[in-house]
Structure 1
Amino acid sequence: MAISRRAFGVGLLAAGVAGTGGYIAVRDRPEFQGLLGNRTKLFGFIGGEKEAFLADNDVVGALHGYGLDIDSRVAGSVEMVREQALLSQTPAFLWPSSSIMVDIARQSGVKIRNDRVVLNTPVVVYTWQPVVDGLMKTGLVSVTSTGQHQLDLKALLDAVLAGTSWSKLGVDSLYGQARIVSTDPNRSNSGFMFAGLVLSLFAGNIATTAGLDQFGDKAQTIFRNMGFKSPSSGKLFDQYLAGGLGGEPMIVGYENQLVEWIIADPERWRRVQSSSTAKPVVLYPHPTVYSSHPLIVIDESANRLMDALTSPKLQELAWTKHGFRGPLGTATGNADSAIAGLLPAEIDAVLPIPDASVMLALLDKLAA
């Protein structure tokens, strides 16, 4: 049957209206931005522990769905919010590893348009099975009801301050005085967070200016005894794995780092578990501190990145492939079988970090 010109014209108009409406619907849905064929390239600085996450092909693909290409460069969390040499490169966003960095960024003159914690991971201590066996004999390490290892960090710090040997702590396979190593607190967040935890443990509560005056020297001694301190959490973790029991007997890191390493190659983890060599072990300090990962939006175009990172898809990828907990510190997906039982469902002993003024004064003391 022939179609009249009027009917044909009405059909074209209807199709045009539907197409325009569809375009507007897609345009206004951030998760469909990539369907329009235009991607925004965002440059920013990130903590090294998130490098593998943003390089993950599944994560890259999900970000493309939001119309985003991310040009991220690794920098220490403290550096990225304080160093003008980095801030002068006009990043669209900063993604440090502690919520206190938002306050420090403001004090550094950063014009923040938006900020939100998008990931969480507790600060932990990585060591090796022979160390755990010895510390369990002396009561510094215990096993929780759910099978994780818990560290009495204050008792360990007291032993380090006293110059106690590894052998007196039950670890006969190691020579010399007991030590624990973190990253440089003036450059990297895991060292920064550990410094706040150390000071608060000596003070017996969340450290204040009075606590810094009274116990700052003790914290300074702990860090001085570490020797060289890596500028990056990722580099320190790599040194730990490469150095083994003798090279790095005990380091400070993030919970997600071992998880990410296991999930990247589960067969490698099974080989490690079945071998006769010293095995990596994660210890949960009691109490610990949470490393919250806030996205700091400097250019409003990075608001779309915040939408993407808090989406269910990217939150699930962050947990199931990289071990990052969600904004509330809980799991955001089903854990891989390779890490079943490795992580506690919740961290029940968390100490807040001292406020920004105390932490900045502590950094100055540790740098002296």
Structure 2
Amino acid sequence: MALSRRAFGVGLLGAGVVGTGGYFAVKDRPELQGLLGSRTTLSGFIGGEKEAFLADRDVVSALGAYGLTVNGRVAGSVEMVREQALLSQSPQFLWPSSSIMVDIARQNGVKIRNDRVVLNTPVVVYSWQPVVDGLMKSGLVTVTNEGHHQLDLKALLDAVLAGTDWSKLGVNSLYGRARIVSTDPNRSNSGFMFAGLALSLFSGNVATADDLAASGGKVQAVFRNMGFKSPSSGKLFDQYLAGGLGGEPMIVGYENQLVEWILADPSRWNRIKASPGAKPVVLYPRPTVYSAHPLIVVDENANRLVEALVSPKLQELAWTRHGFRGPLGTATGNADSAIGSLLPAEVDAVLPMPDAGLMLSLLMMLAS
């Protein structure tokens, strides 16, 4: 039976009310913004260790549900908050790898509208099985009941400063003096944090200005011993994998880097584990420092990116695909079987970093 004109009009009115209500329901829920068809493109600088995360298709899709497209350009964490050549490009957000960078950005005139730690990963040392086997004999590396390797970093740094040969540390597969390499602390966060950790280890506690005067020279000597220092944590990790046992025996990096590399190709990892060659090993310095990843909002629109990144979906992807822990340093999903028991559930031996003013003074010392 045909509808009357009046009934048809009432039907259209009802549909309009439902449609309008649906529009406002979606509009008020940031995780559904993408359904409206509008996208906001946000541009800013990110630490290189987060490049693969933002390139992940599922991450791109999850951000799209928030109506966001993120254009993250890679820069060193220290550079992005200090270099006017970068800041003059008017980034809408900065995503460095240390909470201290928030204070340094503010000191450099960045008008911060908001900041929030959205990811965490501890600083670790990467080495190879033959090196670890030797260091276990000399007592510098121990294994926990859960099978995780802990490193006495202070003892290792003392050996480096003393010019100790690898063979004296139980590592007969390497020639010459023991060494460890990090990134450039004046450009990249992993080197920056390693410098702060080393200073605190030489000082016996979280370093103060007096400790810088007393032990800063030791940190300076450790970094001079490294030779060339990469400007990027990602590039150094690639050098480690490409250089192998002889090229890069020990480097400073982030826990998530090996996890991300394994999950990118689990079958490759299984082949490496089954092969007779040297295998990568992650060592947890005891104590270590946490690399917090704060999203610094410069443009108000980037507040939506903070909301997206702390959502359960993106937090789960950060952990299960890329090895980033949540804001509190804990797992935010079920670990893939490829990494299994590779990671400790929690990293409990953690030191705070020295304050921003002290770290800037240390950077000046290391740049000379």
Give TM class, smaller chain.
Answer: over 0.9
Partner SS, residue 190 of structure 1: helix
Partner SS, residue 296 of structure 1: strand
Matched, 1:67 2:44: no
Which residue of 1 is the match for residue 186 of structure 2? 186
In 1, Cα distance between the equivalents of 2:18 and 2:35?
17
Partner SS, residue 178 of structure 2: coil
Give CA deviations for 1:129-163 in whole Å, capped at 9, x if unaligned.
01001100000000011110000000001111111
In 2, Cα distance between the equivalents of 1:25 and 1:80?
38
Which residue of 1 is the match for residue 249 of structure 2? 249
In 2, Cα distance between the equivalents of 1:62 and 1:356?
34
In 2, Cα distance between the equivalents of 1:65 and 1:5?
39
In 2, Cα distance between the equivalents of 1:115 and 1:334?
28
In 2, Cα distance between the equivalents of 1:258 and 1:57?
20
Partner SS, residue 244 of structure 2: helix
In 2, Cα distance between the equivalents of 1:173 and 1:147?
23
For residue 5 of structure 1, report the CA deviation from its aligned partner. Answer: 3.0
Matched, 1:3 2:36: no
In 2, Cα distance between the equivalents of 1:340 and 1:2?
65
Sequence identity percentage: 82
Give CA deviations for 1:83-106 in whole Å, capped at 9, x if unaligned.
000011111100000011000000
If the length of structure 2 is used for normalisation, what is the TM-score?
A: 0.99
Which residue of 2 is the match for residue 225 of structure 1? 225
Which residue of 2 is the match for residue 104 of structure 1? 104
In 2, Cα distance between the equivalents of 1:10 and 1:280?
70
Partner SS, residue 342 of structure 2: coil
Partner SS, residue 261 of structure 2: helix
Aligned residues: 368
In 1, Cα distance between the equivalents of 2:58 and 2:285?
33
Partner SS, residue 127 of structure 1: strand
Letter matched to residue 78 of structure 2: V
For residue 51 of structure 1, report the CA deviation from its aligned partner. Answer: 0.4
Matched, 1:214 2:240: no
Letter matched to residue 321 of structure 2: K
Residue correspondence of structure 1 range 3-22 to structure 2 within 5 A: 3-22=3-22
In 2, Cα distance between the equivalents of 1:6 and 1:278?
81
In 2, Cα distance between the equivalents of 1:211 and 1:184?
22
Which residue of 1 is the match for residue 204 of structure 2? 204
Letter matched to residue 280 of structure 2: P
Partner SS, residue 341 of structure 2: coil
Partner SS, residue 293 of structure 2: strand
If the length of structure 1 is used for normalisation, what is the TM-score?
A: 0.99
Which residue of 2 is the match for residue 166 of structure 1? 166
Residue correspondence of structure 1 range 297-316 to structure 2 within 5 A: 297-316=297-316
Partner SS, residue 73 of structure 1: strand
Matched, 1:333 2:317: no
In 2, Cα distance between the equivalents of 1:68 and 1:11?
35
Which residue of 2 is the match for residue 28 of structure 1? 28
Which residue of 1 is the match for residue 355 of structure 2? 355
Letter matched to residue 213 of structure 1: A
Letter matched to residue 272 of structure 1: I
Give CA deviations for 1:39-70 in whole Å, capped at 9, x if unaligned.
11111100000000000011111111111111
Give CA deviations for 1:277-312 in whole Å, capped at 9, x if unaligned.
111000000000000000001001111111111000
Letter matched to residue 80 of structure 1: M
For residue 123 of structure 1, report the CA deviation from its aligned partner. Answer: 0.2
In 1, Cα distance between the equivalents of 2:28 and 2:106?
31
Letter matched to residue 122 of structure 1: P
In 1, Cα distance between the equivalents of 2:13 and 2:109?
53
In 1, Cα distance between the equivalents of 2:341 and 2:162?
35
For residue 7 of structure 1, report the CA deviation from its aligned partner. Answer: 2.7
For residue 24 of structure 1, report the CA deviation from its aligned partner. Answer: 0.7
Give CA deviations for 1:158-191 in whole Å, capped at 9, x if unaligned.
1111110000000011111100000000000000
Partner SS, residue 338 of structure 1: coil
Which residue of 1 is the match for residue 271 of structure 2? 271
Structure 1, gaps ≥5 residues long = none
Which residue of 2 is the match for residue 261 of structure 1? 261
In 2, Cα distance between the equivalents of 1:316 and 1:213?
44
Matched, 1:176 2:146: no
Which residue of 1 is the match for residue 237 of structure 2? 237
For residue 319 of structure 1, report the CA deviation from its aligned partner. Answer: 0.3
For residue 2 of structure 1, report the CA deviation from its aligned partner. Answer: 4.3
In 2, Cα distance between the equivalents of 1:155 and 1:318?
34
For residue 10 of structure 1, report the CA deviation from its aligned partner. Answer: 2.2
For residue 21 of structure 1, report the CA deviation from its aligned partner. Answer: 0.8
Matched, 1:293 2:268: no
Structure 2, gaps ≥5 residues long = none
In 1, Cα distance between the equivalents of 2:299 and 2:176?
51
Letter matched to residue 61 of structure 1: S
For residue 340 of structure 1, report the CA deviation from its aligned partner. Answer: 0.4
In 2, Cα distance between the equivalents of 1:68 and 1:159?
50
For residue 322 of structure 1, report the CA deviation from its aligned partner. Answer: 0.3
